[in-house]
């Protein structure tokens, strides 16, 4: 299996999610299935079918997390000498060339990614454009809303 990069914070986050799914969510689903079974005929028991479906989703997510942990390549940028180069785990401060608005992004693994929080999946178009660039470089990113141009104003390894 191919190793997937993840930050130490991302690894901790999914370990907490895994523990929650195993020790809290799984028992709740088992109880819901038991209660639904007690209502009788399972063919027309919507509560039973909903609980079984929820159980399937939970077990799939548990397997995904366990695979992610098993194949994790933990990248701690705080232990790397900062040469102002954008790498996995770096926090990047950009200046939108059109609006003069400053943006902050961090390049992370798939389980950590959340664009609304500025956490970019390392295989996303903007992250791919940023990686290997340095402070002072300009990048152009194609987005659904059109092309966006940025200047990298700072790169931190935090």
Is the predicted pLDDT of residue 36 greater than 90, yes or no? no
- Overall domain count for the chain: 2
Residues 150 and 85 in one domain: yes
Torsion of CA 104, 147, 150, 93, to 10 degrees: 10
Is the predicted pLDDT of residue 40 greater than 80, yes or no? no
Write out pLDDT tens, residues 133-149: 999 999 998 888 889 99
Which of these three, 43, 74, 105, is where a domain ends?
74
Q: What's the pLDDT at 2? A: 87
Residues 140 and 110 in one domain: yes
- Domain range for residue 93? 77-156
Write out pLDDT tens, residues 50-73: 999 999 999 999 999 999 999 999
Angle at the Cα of 153 (from 148 to 157), degrees rounded to 5?
110
Residues 18 and 50 in one domain: yes
Find the CATH number of the domain harbouring 66: 1.10.287.180
């Amino acid at each position: 299996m191919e190793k997937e990069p993840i930050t130490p914070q991302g690894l901790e986050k999914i370990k907490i999610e895994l523990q929650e799914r195993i020790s809290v969510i799984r028992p709740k689903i088992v109880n819901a299935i038991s209660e639904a079974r007690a209502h009788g005929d399972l063919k027309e028991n919507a509560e039973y079918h909903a609980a079984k479906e929820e159980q399937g989703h939970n077990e799939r997510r548990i397997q995904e997390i366990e695979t992610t942990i098993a194949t994790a390549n933990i990248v701690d940028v705080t232990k790397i000498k900062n040469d102002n180069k954008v790498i996995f785990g770096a926090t990047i401060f950009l200046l939108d060339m059109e609006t003069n608005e400053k943006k902050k992004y961090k390049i992370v693994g798939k389980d950590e990614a959340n664009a609304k929080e500025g956490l970019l999946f390392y295989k996303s178009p903007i992250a791919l454009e940023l990686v290997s660039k340095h402070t002072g470089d300009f990048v152009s990113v194609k987005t659904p809303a059109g092309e966006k141009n940025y200047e990298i104003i700072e790169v931190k390894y935090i």
